[in-house]
Amino acid sequence: MRRILLAVYHLYFMVAQVSDERRERYPGEIHKLTQERKPAPKPPQIIFEGNAPADVTKNAEIKAMVADAQGRWGRIDILHNNVGVSLSGGDAELLDITEEAFDRCVAINLKSCILAAKHVIPIMRKQGSGAIINISSMAAITTYPYVAYKATKSAMIAFTEQLAYQNAEYGIRANVILPGLMNTPMAVDTRAREFKKTRAEVEADRDSKVPLRRKMGTGWDVANAALFLASDEANFITGVTLPVDGGSSVRRG
């Protein structure tokens, strides 16, 4: 969702780890969204400029992807770290998690973010500007049961704050979004499979826990928050942890 909005708003972008099926689907989704937005922006001049087949857990591949992006456009204005696994990566409660599953989740959820920043920050410092948007989770600050996801998404918040205060003098902003209960395949379909429930049952249970309209959010809700934080409208915002959770974080008792 986020990368589609970037295209609609005329931003050149490069994406790691995208399947051929999803890549083929993007142009139609971008065109549809462009037509639906009122007032509609101009049709995007660039729909999908780059698709780097990078393993985000491998330093050499991330370094090559960043170099490719800089080589194409001469600069990097936005870094958006949006990868993560929990149950689908083998995450579990403390007494059940395996070392292999823990290492996998740490590599995907946290190591990838740190490696990407390591290679992008020097470019942003040299150009004197840049926006970094990391995706954590409300799991970081709530009673989430699975140990690797909670630990890595909590670390994402601390790392973002470190990025913000260490790079403010270079004109670089860093913020982190905490999605709440979202109606996405990763969140809903995975749980339906793991807990042997129907998708409708999982949806109903998750919907009931959301204060705002008793309805989960969607990927678009997080996408719009990320777009704002990447934009000039957020020019004086850095080091912020932004819940996008339908009011769950303010519920007490």
Write the CA distances from 26 to 51, 72, 220, integer angstroms. 12, 21, 14
Burial 191-214 (b: 16+ CB within 10 A, else e): bbeeeeeeeeebbeebeeebeeee
pLDDT in tens, 161-187: 999 999 999 999 999 999 999 998 888
The domains of the chain are located at 1-53, 61-250
Contact 30, 4 (CB under 8 A): yes
Write the CA distances from 75 to 60, 67, 127, 251, integer angstroms. 20, 10, 7, 42
Contact 140, 119 (CB under 8 A): no
Name which CATH class applies to 61-250.
Answer: alpha beta
Contact 181, 216 (CB under 8 A): yes
DSSP-derived letter for residue 44 is P
Catalytic residue among 144, 146, 149, 170: 149
At 238, list the tokens.
């850095």
Residue with tokens 């042997």: 196
Q: Respond yes or no: is residue 9 known to be catalytic.
A: no
How far, in Å, CA of 28 to CA of 26, rounded? Answer: 6
Can you list the residues of the chain whose pLDDT is less than 70?
A: 1-53, 252-253
Whole-structure pTM value: 0.83
Predicted pLDDT of residue 186: 80
Rounded to the nearest 10 degrees, the angle between the axes of helix 112-127 and helix 147-167 is 10
Rounded to the nearest 10 degrees, the angle between the axes of helix 99-106 and helix 147-167 is 30
How far, in Å, CA of 82 to CA of 198, rounded? Answer: 27
